[in-house]
Structures are given as C-alpha cells and as structure tokens.
A and B are shown apart, each in its own frame.
Chain A
Amino acid sequence: MNKNLYGFAALFKTPDEIIEAAKKTAEAGYQKYDIHSPYPVHGIDRAMKLKASKLGFITLVFGLTGSAIALLLMYWTMSVDYPMIIGGKPFFALPAFVPITFELTVLLATLATVIGMITFFFRFPENDHPLHDTEYMKKVSCDHYGLVIEAKDKLFNETKVRELLNSLRPLSIEEIYYPEKETYPVLETKFVTFLILIALLTSGVTYFALNKLLYMQPFTWMMDQPKLNPQKQSTLFADGFGMRSPIKGTVARGFLPYPFTGQNAPTDVLLNPYLPTKENLQLGEQKYLTFCSPCHGNFGDGDSRLRGQFPNPPSLHSTRAREFSDGMIYHIITNGQNVMPSYASQITREERWAIVNYIRVLQRAKNAKSSDLQVVNKETGTNASN
C-alpha cells in the first residue's frame, strides 16, 4: 500500500444516492470516512450514525461566564470600589444591570461558540488538507456529493474499499494522496526585511500618535479654548485686558481695607482685637514658622538659615522691637519695611494678629522676669531658679 495514500473518494450525483452510500459505509463498520456536500443534506448525520453535536456546552458555559463577569463587574464597581447614589437607586441596582448582563452573555456565548467551533471542533484553519485542490473537492464544492474513506481506518483494505465503493455505483472513484510537504525558510531576506519594515512603521506611527498627534489641534486635551483667561489679552474690552478690576471705591463683602497702607512710620495704628488664647497662639506659631522664620529665625533672633545671603534681618528682641505696639508690628507685616515685603496677600488678618501675639510670647520668653519663673515652676512642677 502506498504510504502517501490519504484515501479513496467517490462522487455521486443525487442526495438520495449519498444517503444510501453513507448508510452502507457506516454499516460496513468504517470509522474514518466522511461525506462531502455543497450544503447540509437532511438526514445525513443519521445515515452516518453521528452523535449529536456537543457545541451547545461551550455556548452554555461561556454564556454563564459572560453573565457572571457582567454582574460581578457591576457589583464591584458600583457597590464596592466607588459607590455612588445615582437616581436614588440602591448601589446594587439589579434591574438596571439587566441590559448589560444580557449583552455580555450574548457576546461571550456567541464568540465562544464560533471560536470554539472553528478551532476546537473543526481544527481550522487547515488549508493544507489533502482534499484541497483535488477534482473531487471542486465537484463537491459545486453540485456533487462525495464519500471519502480514509486509508487510516483500521478496516482499510484497498480491494475491499474498492468493492464497497463500486457496489454503490458512483460517478467516479479517485485516489487522493497527501501533497508533498512544503517548507518555508524563516530567515529569507525578503521576509526579514518585511518584518523590519513593519516594526519601523509600527513604532514610528505609535511615536507620532502619542508624542506629536495628541498635542496638535484639535486633540490637545482641551488646552486651547476661546475663553477669557485672567492673564490673557482680550480684544473684547477697550483696555485690552482679559481680567476685569473692580470699579473704584467698591469694597468686597467682609473685607476692610487697611487704612495705613504705604505709610512708613504711622503715628496712629490699629489695636489688637485678639486675645492671646491657646488656639490663637498655636495659629500664630504655625504661621510664624511658615512665613517669618526663614529670615527672623525660629525664635526671632534674626539668625535664620538664610543668614549671609540677604541683608541680616533685625532681632525681634531688641528694645526697639519690644517697645513696638501690637498695631505697629501688625503694620510692618501688612505693609513691609525696608527689604521685607508686604505679607498682606499671603497671610490673613486674623493670622497676622496671631503672629503678633506669638512674637510677644517669644519676646517675653527671651526676657523673662523672676515672677514669670515662679509661674512656670508652679504650673509645671519644676524647681528652676535664676
């Protein structure tokens, strides 16, 4: 027997004949045989004694998987990861989840059925099957019906198979052989060049899309908008500014203008409206450390970490500084003095007064009296003396 023989193929003209042929072949006990027809012939699976297709199981399993994925995803996102009340619905709003659950069920079931059928049941793609490019295949593709008995069958015997096929009175009998194996060298110059070109093209397009295209109009992540920005020019207003300043003399609600702006040594200053409570002093300490300490030092000695790089700031413990009224210190913070700029826009009014109170604490601590020490000893239970 020829080793390259795939099998014998017989052609028939009518569907009745092929049903008959299928029955006879199945009765003769052959297992590896097949019927080919240009469309499914009714009753052929019964004649061939085929078992019912098990494809439905794939559909069932993947359909249920689809429902489960959909429900779990929606449950987790909407009730666990980022629960949000929408339209007064509960976090797990089952009726509202029905549409997407259904769609994902159908999607997964369909794709799994088709992919499972093609890859698992058909073992496709298979364009190198020995039946391809034969006269036989051309005929069954059009208007004939064919029977193939494979040489691999346990009962295959050339003379017996011929006898059986002849008894069915076919139009013709064809011997089908395995085609010669074609080999394709992987490292062919053309192929490698093709791969390199594809790699260059892909990386080039990706680079362009991510680094250039996304920053071009109109894909600029809403960077360019024809709206007025505070710092932008505008042709809409006569003065050419995009930003509007308040009309002269208007005062914002809750805002008191500082009456001594620009005066170097005002004769009149404000009175401190805040008592040095614990909260007030804590606020003052925090703001002092943030805004004042970079120059004046953590304890007001004028020995900050910037010493030497700027003109030295004065100590806050000099007699002059200690003799300033609260209002005067407030004025210096608000208005600035010498190199020190105004802090009016950075520190609120309340915070400025708190800083003033805190500076008083620092001054008193550096120049403590014996009576202060007694109070401290009394409050903390220590026994310090001068």
Chain B
Amino acid sequence: MHIDYSQEAPVIAGRLTLSQIEELVAHPLETKPDKKYFIALSISSSLLLIGAICLGLTFYYGTGLWGINQPVGWAFDIVNFVFWVGIGHAGTLISAILFLLRQKWRTGIARFAEAMTIFAVMCAGLFPAIHTGRPWLDGYLLPYPNQHGLWVNFTSPLLWDVFAVSTYFTVSLVFWYIGLIPDFATLRDRTTSSFKKTIYSIFSLGWRHSSRHWQHYEKAYMLLAGFATPLVLSVHTIVSFDFAVSILPGWHTTIFPPYFVAGAIFSGFAMVVTVLVFVRKIFNLENIITLDHLEKMNKVILATGMMVGYAYGMEFFIAWYSGVQAEQFVFINRAFGPYAWAYWIMVSCNVIFPQLFWFRKFRRSIPVMFVIVILVNVGMWFERFVITVTSLHRDFLPSSWGYFKPTLFDIGILLGSFGLFFTLVILFTKSLPVVSISEVKAVADGAQPTHRGGHHE
C-alpha cells in the first residue's frame, strides 16, 4: 500500500465549507427531537428512576440494604466509583493531552468526550458520597473550623480523593465551558428564537470572536490543558492510593498508580467509542467524526489494553517473587478461588478480545469495534470488582471468610448510575453543540492562511 507522507491527511472528510460544518453541528439544536429520541430518553430515565428509588430507600434504611458486610465492606459502591472515574479520564486525555501533542483529529471528538468526562465524574462522585452511609453529613469531609475543634486527616488517601475528584470535576467543567463560549456566540448569532438568543447571550458572555480575545483565549486553553494533563494522571493515581496505601495483600502494590491510569484511559476510550458510534450516525456527523478518528481511538484501546494485561501478569509475578505467602494466596485465590468467574471475564474482555484490533479491518469495522468496546466496558467494571472484592473476601482469618453477593439495591443503584449518565448524554446532544464548532472550523481545509508570499515561521 502506498501512502503519501509528504501531505497531511485532511482531518475533516468530505471537503465541507465552514458554514456547512456549522450547519451540521447546529442542526440537532434547531430541530424538534423525533420519536427515537424520546424512546431513548424514556429508557435512560427509567433506569435513572430505578436508581433513584433504590437510593431513596438506602437513604432511609441505611447501607444495610446492600450486600456489604464483614469481611467485604467495600463492594459495588467503590467498584462503581472507580469505574466511573475511569470512564471520565478519556475526555480529559482527548481534550488536554492530545491538545498538547498537537493531535488535530481530537477536535471532532473533544467536546463530546469532555461532556462524558463531566457526566461520568458526576456518576462517580455519587458513590463515595452515598458510601458514607449518611450522605447529608458529607460536609464533614471538608476542612472547616468547627465546634468540635477537629480537622480532617490530611494524610489519608480517602481525603486526597475528596480533593482530587472535586478539583477534577471543577477543572473539567471550566475547561468545557471555556471551549463552549465561542460556540455559544455562534449559536447566538444563528438563532431566530429570541428565547434561545437570551440564553445563548448569557452563556456566551458577549463573546465577539475578536482576535485580541482569541489570543488570550488560546493562551488560557493551553494553560488549562497543561494543568489538566497532570491533573487527570493524579486523579486516578490518588484513586489507586485508596487501595495501594493500605496494607492488604492484593491492594498493597506499587504498580497500582500507572496500572489504574492505563485502565482508566482504556475504559474511557471504550466508552467514548461506544457512544460516538451512535452519535456520528444519528446526527450525520460521519464527516466530522470520521472512521479515521475511530481507528485512532481503537489503537489507543489496543495499547492501553496491553498495558493493563502487563499489569495483570506483573501482579502475579511480584506475588510469587516477593515470597509473601498471604500475597501469593490472594492471587491464586483470584484466579482459581470462588471469584474465578469474575477474574476470567476480566482477563478475556480486557486482554484477549482487544487483540483483534491488531487487524486494520477490525479497527475500521463499526460492528466489530462496537462489540469489542462493549466487552471492554464490561471487563473494566469486573477489573474493579476483582480488585476490590476478591482481596477482601478471604482475609487473614479463615473463620471470617465470606462470599459477597450483591442485593437488588446494589444492582439498582448501578443501573441508576448508567441511567444518570445516558440521560445526561442524551439531553446534551439536543441542547449543546456535540462538536466544537470553532475548533473544527479551524482545522477544515482552507481555514488557515497559506502564507503565500510570506514565510511560515
């Protein structure tokens, strides 16, 4: 196959003009939602309702409704938390790290991925909050002068989590909003409805596409990307500290931070591909979110999947190499104990099936990639389940061994978190531009000066 490397491949397919791009992206915002939209919304909001009912009952009766008890005190709440935080990481990776690496193809998917970050972190934040048992007292997690004369424990990874997740949410939201300002201005100047115009005017803050503003804006975007990059790595590192800083065999591992970050990007990209496959089809964005973009994401999935696979192997090696009996027992127990089924679901979904992405044909086939990314989502949820539950269920005292079984409330709240996520995603697709209009315009063919007669510095 002959590829011409002397020329950059166009990021946007189909030679769209600037106004066509704008037309495409703004179209869903200017048309009434159809029947399919309401069907999708009713399914996701039903899931949300199931979750809300289970949560309400949990509020009233307490966490005793869940399957947790001695010795497994951390189960679905923590599993779901780590899972959703991980999903969120893809968005920041795409919007910040790929921005710093000058990857132009990110422009088509960045907005959507960032939105998914925010929704995923909202789902994630829910779990540690309800996991405290009395969520209305979660204000105690913040250091504030109080009548007890007490402070929070700043040396605890659980408190680091509070700071990491809330900072991550705030920064992601701000980053997302900054990206939306020029698009709000464009929508403001497009719309014919005075009601929409008022809303867009408020959120655009009076943006007028001034080059004097663009200069500061680009600087701010770069600074924020520069901060978001170490931030996203720190967040999952700190989440892994929740486990790694303890002294429990199976958790007390130095490989956890990089292993968790790789797993987060792996699962996050899988979720982004899952959703984008539908979005590009439904909203006719095939020229903006092209097959090339999806292929590139599949390559990232393949790479991070192998990192995760390496971590699985390395954990076993270190357990054997350390010579610590308890450590060895935990890992043998993981693979061949009562939770072996979960372990092998994890290994096959995360390590074996993504290997199909070595073939270009599979990387570019929508049905194949859809099946694989769904499996990756399942596998990554089970990874967190395996880490959390199998390390706990057989502790040092055989008389206190147990077997965790989720109750209907556990499952209901998990379904509810998916309901919350997809309800927000579905509402987002009809209320905000799912693709960054200004960023995509900037990478369209002929959008940048040719520097004829001048020199390109």
Contacts and interface: CB of A to CB of B under 8 A. Distances in A.
B323 interface: no
Contacts of A121: 213, 216
Interface in A203-262: 217-219, 222
B408 interface: no
Given A15-B449, A45-B215, A113 B154 contact: no
A89 B446 CA distance: 60
Contacts of A100: 154, 159-160, 163
A65 to B, nearest CB: 14
A111 interface: yes
A107 B448 CA distance: 34
Interface string B154-187: 1111011001100100110011001000100110
> How large, as a class, is the contact surface on chain A?
35 or more
Nearest to B164: A103
B274 interface: no
A100 B62 CA distance: 31
A103 B212 contact: no
A328 interface: no
B167 A142 contact: no
A50 B171 contact: no
Contacts of B355: none
B211 to A, nearest CB: 4
Contacts of B457: 43, 46
Instruction: Bin chain B's interface residue count.
Output: 35 or more
Contacts of A81: 149, 151
B147 to A, nearest CB: 14
Given A127-B206, A131-B208, A140-B209, A55 B220 contact: yes
**Max count, chain A CB within 10 A of own CB: residue among B156, B210, B238, B457:** B210
A331 interface: no
Given A56-B219, A96-B155, A117-B217, A43 B189 contact: no
B189 A106 contact: no
B442 interface: yes
B170 A77 contact: no
A45 B212 CA distance: 8
Contacts of A110: 170-171, 174-175, 224, 227
B333 interface: no
Contacts of A126: 205-206
A320 interface: no
A59 B225 CA distance: 13
B208 A36 contact: yes
Contacts of A124: 205-207
B46 interface: no
A99 B164 contact: yes
B207 to A, nearest CB: 7
B158 to A, nearest CB: 11
B170 A107 contact: yes
A321 interface: no
Contacts of B160: 99-100, 103
A366 interface: no
B153 A142 contact: no
A78 interface: yes
A68 interface: no
Contacts of A107: 167, 170-171
A74 B216 contact: no
B292 interface: no
Contacts of B129: none
B171 A117 contact: no
A124 B206 CA distance: 7
A258 B216 CA distance: 89
Interface string A80-119: 0110001101000100110110111011011101100110
A47 to B, nearest CB: 9
Interface stretch (B15-23, B70-78, B120-128, B388-396): B15-23
B151 A50 contact: no
A82 B224 contact: no
Nearest to A74: B154
A125 B441 contact: no
B209 A38 contact: yes
B450 interface: yes
B449 A16 contact: yes
B214 interface: yes
Contact of A114 (B209, B210, B224): B224
B155 A142 contact: no
Interface of A: 14-16, 18-19, 22, 34-46, 48, 50, 53, 55-56, 59, 73-74, 77-78, 81-82, 86-87, 89, 93, 96-97, 99-100, 102-104, 106-107, 109-111, 113-114, 117-118, 121-122, 124-129, 131-132, 137-138, 140-143, 217-219, 222
11 contacts: A38-B18, A39-B442, A77-B143, A78-B151, A82-B149, A103-B234, A109-B227, A125-B206, A142-B186, A143-B17, A143-B18
Interface of B: 17-19, 22, 59-62, 134, 136, 143, 149-151, 153-157, 159-160, 163-164, 167, 170-171, 174-175, 178, 182, 185-186, 188-190, 201-202, 205-220, 223-224, 227, 230-231, 234, 238, 241, 437-439, 441-442, 446-452, 454, 457
Closest 10 pairs (CB-CB, A-B): A143-B18, A141-B189, A39-B442, A126-B206, A96-B155, A35-B211, A77-B151, A40-B214, A124-B205, A53-B219
